[in-house]
Structure 1
């Protein structure tokens, strides 16, 4: 188990955790229904909310790269 994750990390009162979807969520690439599910979960789950804050700036940072950076 990673730091900050409990043995029951698969679900809580708001349903399954959404950490595996956060990359797609921050890139705004989820279908609308799934995006709502993730947003609703983030509103009530401190652990997933913290994980989201760690990756939330990724799209902005990717925008700073140019083609030469990707080689």
Structure 2
């Protein structure tokens, strides 16, 4: 299991942060174990929760693009 961004996020009493997994989490691309781990962490970590809210709209924003926009 990933342990976040290491020194960029560090760890506190709640354990390692999950910033490196937030994009995959927002796109529902994690396996069940990592998905549960991230969800549990977000429930108790304001710092990671704030970072998640910044990327949470990724899926809907990507849906606005068409193939020509990706070139």
TM-score (norm 2): 0.84
Quick one: higher RCO (CA 8 Å, sep 6+), 1 or 2? 1
2:31 aligned with 1:35, yes or no? no
Could you give the per-residue CA deviations for residues 5-32 of structure 1, whole angstroms, max 9, x where no partner exists? xx89421222100001001100101010
The unaligned stretches of length 5 or more in structure 2 are 1-6
SS in 2 for 1:33: helix
More helix by share: 2
**Aligned-residue CA RMSD in angstroms?**
1.6
Could you give the per-residue CA deviations for residues 17-63 of structure 1, whole angstroms, max 9, x where no partner exists? 00010011001010100000000000000000000000000000000
Say how many residue pairs are matched: 65
Query: Which 4+ residue blocks in structure 1 deviate beyond 6 angstroms?
Result: none
The unaligned stretches of length 5 or more in structure 1 are 1-6
- CA distance in 2: counterparts of 1:63 and 1:55, whole angstroms: 14
TM-score (norm 1): 0.84
- Residue in 2 that maps onto 1:54: 54
Structure of higher CA gyration radius = 1
